[in-house]
Chain A
Amino acid sequence: MLKRSLTFILALCMVLTSLGVSFALDADGNSRKGKYLFRKSCRSCHAEGQKAKDLSPVDMTQAQWKKAFADYKKLPCYGNWKNVKEKDIKDIYSYMYNHAKDSPSPAKCK
């Protein structure tokens, strides 16, 4: 019975992976730390005069941030995220989502 269950779960995981099904992050991480991590980890590229587009939470809507982070491993810059821990990603997402363009508290400045 146990063996059959494990096989089923393994099969399900393989199917989900092959379909590219993404998981949803919750925006209940530490937004304040996320702001710091965003600057440290993302703004080195995503800033004026740098190699990637200048970026702020207010550049996108909550739905857009949710979509972007649901599949963050597919983001073009994911290769540069080697030193960013899973928990840090949640904090960064919480900052971006909670201060998005259509959030109750849009970020004031970059």
Chain B
Amino acid sequence: MPSPSEFRVSRRGFLKLSGAATAAAALGGSGHLTPVKTAQAGTKLESGFESKFTVCDMCFNKCSAIARVVDGKVQKLDPNPKFLKSRGMLCAKGNAGVRQLYDPNRLKYPLLRVGARGEGKWKRISWSEALDLAAEKMKAIGQKYTRCGFMFMAGADMQSTYVHRFAKAYGSYNTLSHESQCLIAGTRAFLDTFGEVPIPDMLFAKYCLMMGANRFESLVTPDSIDMMTAMKQDMKLVVMDPRYTKTAAKAHEYYPIKPHSDMAVMLAIAHVLIKEGLYDQEFVAQKTYGIEQLSKHVEQYTPEWAAGESDVPAEAIVKIARELGAAKPAAMVYPGRRSSNYKDSTQVRRSFAIVNALLGNWDRPGGLTAARMVGLAGGVPLEEPFYENNPPDRIDAGKATLMFPEEGSFKLARDAVLEGKPYPVKGFFCYHSNPMQTVANRAKTVEMFNGMDFVMVMDVAMSDTAYMADLVLPSQSYLERLDPCSAQQGSSACACVVMRDPVVKPMFEAKPALWVMQELAGRLELGKHFDFTVEDFRKAQLKGLPGALEALKKDGVYYNPSKLYGVYEGKIYKTKTHKIELYNERYAEMGVDPMPVYKKHEEPGANRFRLVVGRNAIITQSSSTSNSLLMQFQADNALWLNPKPAKELGIEDGDWVKVQSPAGQQWIKAKVTDMTRPDTVYMDTGFGVLSKQLAIHGKGACIAEVLVDDFDRISGNMAMHETFVTVSKEAA
């Protein structure tokens, strides 16, 4: 960590920055949206550092930030006080971004595997050798197995768009992202209810019921910051979670709900809202479809019944329903983000969506808002070719009822690859994503890679997925890159565009994804699809936004002052009935429950626990756990275990335990705590890595090794919390 003397910021300069930051903080509280004046990027300041705008890449939020650069080196990262989506905030991970750039373990050159797969033996090769090899393999696999025989995966990165573009030009339908590990069940549920995925208007909410989301630790902008401000403005926060998170700790009320019973509580809340006439009857009559069917359906789901399923007292369910009804329409069930939990996660999230619809909060202040107009175009158009000899569809097509054809399902695609049906997939390119650490059942992922003819990974560090590759390509850190523009949605905070310019020169032989895609395209006679620069791409993206480029250069962000509320006035809802669907007609036609039906779930039983996973404010899955600055806060994970079963098992705080599931086993230290239910154990994600080229190697246990892989039947989302484990006191 640099010493304070290395930060060459004068007192006057510091005061200027502090003032700007304070002003920005005040903005968040007041709800006024006028950006403050502050130091401008590109200006040489008197104190000896340059300030350059960037966009953080330490998680998916893409917060605008300012790099303080001295003699061509980044000394410090600060928040951009004009960036309203983060309310002028840069979190711990964002501050630690400088260490991603200067991490001595960074990938520096292309590496070719010379030992067994996963053995960690490499040979440095030149870029031209690497690209020739990759192109030769892509050509050979495409010819032998069709172009769909090569699979592509890209993370939530601003250059991932070029990887997906390459996959289309090359001709593979088999593209994946992190989304089927994360949120597609929630996306499916809200799309199938409202015709759109909502953005919560947290700042103006009066009441928020949060089911399992951990917004004060697993940060989402502006929700995390606005939630705190809204609470100062008397918003009531009620949290239900099997684990006592920091969000739970800050809530007005907390209920340690039994895992997999959220739907029971939601249906009981709907029962009370309807029975007591507390729902928004005018809104429901005008804008929704299926209230009669829903009323009849939820008659059976009484608060007393739900209490038996969930361990949330019946009186509490009734009270919450009444309070939601009283606070409507500025009341919400928080839609949440990660929904990779259960086999019926889409239906669970449908129950959240239905209660929101009953509250009439859609498109209204303090409720769930529609996406605002940003106006960013798609960039340079792709003349996507069609290859006649390709198979008809993705390898995982048809394996979930309503899978998104562009997202697919990592779980179902991996199963199909392992089976070799309906056709072989023998090549894999992964860009800035790490399925070895994040996808349940790591043994299956290893088996998939072992069956591949060629695996190529491009990343900043030697992730576990890179560790399994044949060819590893060094990617530039976000602070070295020129990237396309990105549209951002922030409800009442903003609808905006950000873009990323390099703040320092690229180090070593690291390259951007676009350059790699262009080089490969040129070798595969696909060059015409990549005949542009990032500047050309940006120009095409910004063609409908006059003045945006200037604003981006001046402020690091462009705002579109587009309509926020009442967006749907006079418009149809994008569902089958063109109304908000309490009863889903399309589901009924497809043989899927048109309204969520609660089904009894398997209980852990004696000597078993349900394993739940998550993260906190200083780790973003596996991409940040090896950051040496963040490791000063956390360099290990532990198994949260309730004192009652711990006593029965003879386990004390700090003991080494073995966690075993049908998928695998890991050894980890026990954290004996009453912050988790007796039937539930918890682990942070991002530890127990295989790669010896990561600083975190040898620390903690890996969730992917012990999580059982199941899937949501409607969306294909991974279902990670269907895992039951045994825990025993046992040293590794």
List residues of A whose CB falls within 8 A of some B CB: 30-33, 35-37, 39, 61-62, 101-102, 104-106, 108-110
Contacts and interface: CB of A to CB of B under 8 A. Distances in A.
A30 B387 CA distance: 13
B185 to A, nearest CB: 14
Given A104-B402, A105-B404, A61 B392 contact: no
B310 to A, nearest CB: 30
B384 interface: yes
B378 A109 contact: yes
Interface stretch (B504-512, B569-577, B678-686): B569-577
A35 B384 contact: yes
19 contacts: A30-B392, A32-B392, A32-B393, A36-B385, A39-B383, A39-B384, A61-B572, A62-B576, A101-B574, A102-B578, A104-B191, A104-B192, A104-B402, A105-B404, A105-B405, A105-B406, A108-B406, A110-B378, A110-B381
Contacts of B586: 104
B28 interface: no
Nearest to A34: B386
A61 B406 contact: no
Interface of A is mostly: loop
Nearest to B196: A106
Interface in B405-423: 405-406
A32 B386 CA distance: 8
B4 to A, nearest CB: 48
Given A32-B173, A61-B572, A109-B378, A102 B385 contact: no
A105 B404 CA distance: 6
Contact of A33 (B386, B572, B574): B386
Interface string B374-405: 00001001011110000011000000001011
Interface string B171-191: 001000000000000000001
A35 B381 CA distance: 14
What are the 3 A-B residue pairs with the smallest beta carbon separation, nearest first? A36-B386, A109-B378, A102-B574
B198 to A, nearest CB: 15
A101 B378 CA distance: 18
A109 B378 CA distance: 7
A100 to B, nearest CB: 9
A54 to B, nearest CB: 11
A31 B191 CA distance: 21
A68 to B, nearest CB: 17
Nearest to B191: A104
B574 A106 contact: yes
A30 B192 CA distance: 24
Contacts of A102: 195, 572, 574-576, 578
B243 to A, nearest CB: 33
